[in-house]
Amino acid sequence: MAIGTIAARGSSRLRAGLEAAIEFLIRICGISAIVFVFGIFFFVFREGSELLFRGLNLKEFLFSPEWYPTSQSNVRYGVLALIAGTASVTALAMAIAVPFGLGAAVYISEFCGPRLKESLKVVIELLAAIPSVVWGFVGLTVMNPLIMRIFSVPIGLNVLNGGIIVALMSVPIILSIAEDALKAVPDSYREAALALGVTRWQLVYRVLLPAAKSGLLAAALLGVGRAVGETMAVLMATGHSVTIPGSLMDSVRTLTATIAAELGEAPVRSDHYQVLFVIGILLFSITFVVNLTADLIVRGIRNK
């Protein structure tokens, strides 16, 4: 190889050696992601699989709303209410965050001036850097009394509270990815459209959004992943109550919050401990399906 031919000079041999070492390191970095993902999946699956195969009643697990992991008389592991909790908070959060995030991305990339753009981006990055527990604290101490007063409900820890908090947390992610997607649309598209005499709104609506469709969809789905996985903030803001919500004012409990609240106290290898890992497998499957659909849709759009 090339290394052999220039090996005569010492310094270049050193340089080649260095280069090989760096290349090797980078290679490890690349492979490590795969190792970690499989490692995590393997671990979660191993902890939960024993119960899963020993006879966890899957029908009860998925379709019963009764979650009694520590009952003395009748232990029931039904996560339907928890799934409904996660789904309701995620749905509300996305209903708020997707239009908000995409709108903000269009504004930042197409409408605002360069100076405002820079300061807006800094502020949004700041928003993304706020820790989850601080968001939960805001839900508990600011949103809770506010919702109680505005809607005159007895308690403000509910789907609405959690949904708004998670929406605020997902906006920065959706926004930054959507903005990248819009930026990636070639300027020649814009120039061609403007030359045809379109207004700015027509440009956005008829040219940019269709052109950036796959990137925008990816942004929204990453937001969904963020919302499904969010733990600490929803634990604090949703009221942590095993209920299938009938309205935005009902308290709920999510899958992630249940794992966070109960795992530390479940004796290792007990049924309760294992069922929490089965919930982990369920969460893993949900995010996997979301990512897979995103991937397939994006691919489908690209192939058209």
Partner 1 sequence: MRTFDSAAGRLIAAALPLLLAGLAAGCARSKAPDRAVIQNTGSDTLVNLAQAWAEEYAQVNPAVSVEVSGGGTGTGVAALINGTVDIANCSRKLEPQEVEKAKQHTGRTPREYLVGYDALAVYVHKSNPLEEITLAQLGEIYAEGGKTTRWSQLGVKPPGGSDEIIRISRQSNSGTYYYFREAVLGHGRDFKLGSRDMHGSKDVVELVSHTPGAIGYSGMGYAAPGVKALRVARKAGEKAYAPTMESALDGTYPIARPLFLYTLGEPAGAIRQYLDWIYSGHGQKVVADNGYVPLPKTGASR
Binding site for partner 1 (CB under 8 A): 23-24, 27-28, 31-32, 35, 65-74, 81, 144-145, 148, 152-155, 157, 235, 239-243, 251, 253, 261-262, 264-268, 272
- Least CB distance to partner 1 at residue 270 (A): 8
Return the number of the residue (67 or 204) whose C-beta is nearest partner 1. Answer: 67
User: Residue 105 or residue 235: which is nearer to partner 1 going by CB?
Assistant: 235
Rounded to 5 degrees, what angle do the CA atoms 206, 210, 215 make?
145
List all residues 6 or more positions away from 251 whose beta carbon is below 8 Å from its beta carbon.
Answer: 155, 157, 158, 159, 238, 239, 240, 241, 243, 245
DSSP string, the chain: -HHHHTTTSHHHHHHHHHHHHHHHHHHHHHHHHHHHHHHHHHHHHHHHHHHHHHT--HHHHHH---EETT-SS--EE--HHHHHHHHHHHHHHHHHHHHHHHHHHHIIIIIS-HHHHHHHHHHHHHHHHS-HHHHHHHIIIIIHHHHHHHTT-S---SHHHHHHHHHHHHHHHHHHHHHHHHHTS-HHHHHHHHHTT--HHHIIIIIIHHHTHHHHHHHHHHHHHHHHH--HHHHHHSB------SSTTS-B--HHHHHHHHGGGSPTTSHHHHHHHHHHHHHHHHHHHHHHHHHHHHHHHHH-
Q: Cβ 123 to partner 1, closest distance in Å?
A: 31
Q: In this complex, which beta carbon is closest to partner 1, that of residue 40 or of residue 95?
A: 40
Q: Which CB sits closer to partner 1, 97 or 237?
A: 237
* Least separation in angstroms between CB 95 and partner 1: 24
Output the smallest distance, CB 51 to partner 1, in A: 17
Between 219 and 259, whose beta carbon lies closer to partner 1?
259
Q: How far is the CB of 181 from partner 1 (least distance, A)?
A: 34
Residue 261 CB, shortest distance to partner 1, in Å, is 5
Minimum CB separation of residue 75 from partner 1 in Å reads: 10
Which of residues 237 and 283 has its CB atom nearest to partner 1 in the complex?
A: 237
Cβ-based nearer residue to partner 1, 213 or 272: 272
